[in-house]
Amino acid sequence: MEKYEWKDKFGDNALVPVPLEQRRSAMASFLIFTGVLACIAAIMAGGTLGSMFSLKDLIIVSVVGCAILAIIGGLTAVMGVTSGCSTYVNMRWPYGRIGSWILGTIVAGLACGIGWFAIQTWFFGIFANALIPIDIWIFAAIGGALMILTAAYGFRGLGVLSYLVVPMFLLLAGVGFMVAVGEAGGLSALLAAQPATPAPTVVGITAVVGTYIAGSIITQDITRYCTSAAGGATAWIIQVLILMPYMFVGAGSMMLVTGELNIAAAMAAAGLGVGAFLIVFFGQWTTNDNNLYSGALSVNLWAPIKKWILVVILGMIGTVVAVYYSVTAGANVGAASPFMDFLTLLGKALPAIGGGLIADYYIYQWYKGVKLSERYRIKPGMEISELNWVGLVAVAAGVAGGFLIPWGIAAINSILLAFLVYIILSILLDKAGIPITIGKHKLPVTGT
């Protein structure tokens, strides 16, 4: 067994590989992933899709969107196992040390640690308001404070909550579908139901990808604790390819039948009781814990302070944003809302970051002759690049493609363009003897 030479200065192995004795089974990763998936956002996203698609089309956009997420997340999950490092440490290879600061902060610090945390804390307030008629912003503020406290306990705290919530949340989605069948007057009637304002299929697929694209890129934050690369990838693929469409269809069916744009009101109209709301609350808790956890890991790259302090800072900012949404948007989570705007933005922009990461790990590292088991392995004293300019050009090209190409699925355009640009430029420039990186940085034993 290799001697472990690293010093974990900032806690939870934020900047250093996870020691082998701390590795866990694929089942542990699976439960964490499903704990993240079991959240209000999945219910809200499914409900919003139910306002735009028939049941048949809802199933199609859910399955296609989730298949894209399964591929991206399955490929990135392997990176965490082989390297033992977080997403933001692994990003140093395709983007350089400074590039990993920038993109890691965007994908986790901003998109997860602040963006998703804010959106889902706002949702927390909406659900609480449906149960107790107190202003949404008050519940959002209280919920945000409580989630910050539990997130400060780190990975182990996430696992405990996941074990408790996941079975109940899966049961809730199934009950929601059965209630929708009953409300519609049978399965055939539910299949015949049509939304008031239909949307193009590509819009739905982009929104589905947007719900979990940040999670599919940062799978490494969880699988770095896994003992098996195949197990880590499988843990991700099963939950996103099977459980996620299941949740979307359950929530979307209720929305389609009740006509309520507020899924909390739809649950109430469908006769689901206090227990269902409590399940949603706890599911939300596990996901927002993970949002802060991953956000803090990314910021740790350029702000070398204790992780729990970063959790508190990001959580406070996210809570303020959640209160703002609560005051300005209220309970509106329909097609024209901050929620759908957020999903569309993520679905078009973030796949490009995954595209560059996947291209470097699977193609460029292979081209350079690095064995799969050795890829992204760091050692004390080794030199890493300050900036990989090709990686940043590839991401810029992918983001531009996601927003500007008028045909196809935006998420696929984004990731494929970044993937191809990275491969073509990096290999051609390497053959021409032109460096794709700028500067060098020597890693100390703390990984900073």
Give the pLDDT confidence score for residue 266 in this predicted structure.
Answer: 61
- Domain assignment present for residue 392? The answer is no
Q: Is residue 163 predicted with pLDDT exceeding 70?
A: no
Give the pLDDT confidence score for residue 279 in this predicted structure.
Answer: 66
Structure tokens at 164: 């408790």
- Domain assignment present for residue 228? The answer is yes
Amino acid in position 439: G
pLDDT band at 141 (very low <50, low <70, confident <90, very high): very high
C-alpha 372/C-alpha 376 separation (Å) is 9
Residue 101 belongs to what domain range? Answer: 20-348
Q: Write the pLDDT tens digit of every residue in 407-437.
A: 888 889 999 999 999 999 999 999 999 999 9
Interhelix angle 410-431/351-358, nearest 10 degrees: 30
Structure tokens at 33: 């992933």
- Domain assignment present for residue 210? The answer is yes
- Domain assignment present for residue 121? The answer is yes
Mean pLDDT within 88-94: 92
In the 8-state DSSP scheme, what is residue 385?
E
C-alpha 312/C-alpha 318 separation (Å) is 10
The answer to whether the pTM exceeds 0.75 is yes
- Domain assignment present for residue 43? The answer is yes
Q: Is residue 269 predicted with pLDDT exceeding 70?
A: no
Q: What are the percentages of helix, strand and coil residues in the chain, rounded to 5? A: 75, 5, 25
Structure tokens at 101: 């600061």
Q: What is the 3-state secondary structure (H, E, C) of the chain?
A: CCCCCCCCCCCCCCCCCCCHHHCECHHHHHHHHHHHHCCHHHHHHHHHHHCCCCHHHHHHHHHHHHHHHHHHHHHHHHHHHHHCCCHHHHCHHHHHHHHHHHHHHHHHHHHHHHHHHHHHHHHHHHHHHHHCCCCHHHHHHHHHHHHHHHHCCCHHHHHHHHHHHHHHHHHHHHHHHHHHHHHHCCHHHHHHCCCCCCCCHHHHHHHHHHHHHHHHHCCHHHHCCECCHHHHHHHHHHHHHHHHHHHHHHHHHHHHHHCCCCHHHHHHHCCCCHHHHHHHHHHHHHHHHHHHHHHHHHHCCCCCCCHHHHHHHHHHHHHHHHHHHHHHCCCCCCCCCHHHHHHHHHHHHCHHHHHHHHHHHHHHHHHCCCCHHHCCCCCCCCEEEEEEHHHHHHHHHHHHHHHHCCCCCHHHHHHHHHHHHHHHHHHHHHHCCCCCEEEEEECCCCCC
pLDDT band at 155 (very low <50, low <70, confident <90, very high): very low
Question: Phi-psi category of 374—alpha, beta or left, where left has phi over 0 and alpha has psi -120 to 50?
Answer: alpha
CB 32 within 8 A of CB 159: yes
Give the pLDDT confidence score for residue 59 in this predicted structure.
Answer: 94
The CATH number linked to 158 is 1.10.4160.10
Question: Phi-psi category of 154—alpha, beta or left, where left has phi over 0 and alpha has psi -120 to 50?
Answer: left
Please give the biggest Cα pair distance in the chain.
69
- Domain assignment present for residue 389? The answer is no
Q: Is residue 289 predicted with pLDDT exceeding 70?
A: yes
Total domain count, the chain: 1
Structure tokens at 446: 């703390």
Amino acid in position 240: V
C-alpha 439/C-alpha 92 separation (Å) is 12
Min mean pLDDT across 118-132, 184-198, 269-283, 426-440 is at: 269-283
Q: Is residue 156 predicted with pLDDT exceeding 60?
A: no
- Tell the residue number behind the tokens 């699925």, with chain if given: 409
pLDDT band at 26 (very low <50, low <70, confident <90, very high): confident
Amino acid in position 305: I
- Domain assignment present for residue 380? The answer is no
Exposure string for 380-400, b = 16+ CB within 10 A, e = fewer: eeeebbebbbbbbbbbebbbb
Q: Is residue 360 predicted with pLDDT exceeding 80?
A: yes
C-alpha 425/C-alpha 261 separation (Å) is 46
- Domain assignment present for residue 76? The answer is yes
CB 84 within 8 A of CB 224: yes
At residue 226, the 3 state secondary structure works out as strand
C-alpha 383/C-alpha 374 separation (Å) is 16
C-alpha 10/C-alpha 300 separation (Å) is 8
C-alpha 4/C-alpha 9 separation (Å) is 14
Give the pLDDT confidence score for residue 165 in this predicted structure.
Answer: 63
Q: Is residue 159 predicted with pLDDT exceeding 60?
A: no
Give the pLDDT confidence score for residue 396 in this predicted structure.
Answer: 97
* Strand partners of residue 438: 387
pLDDT band at 299 (very low <50, low <70, confident <90, very high): confident
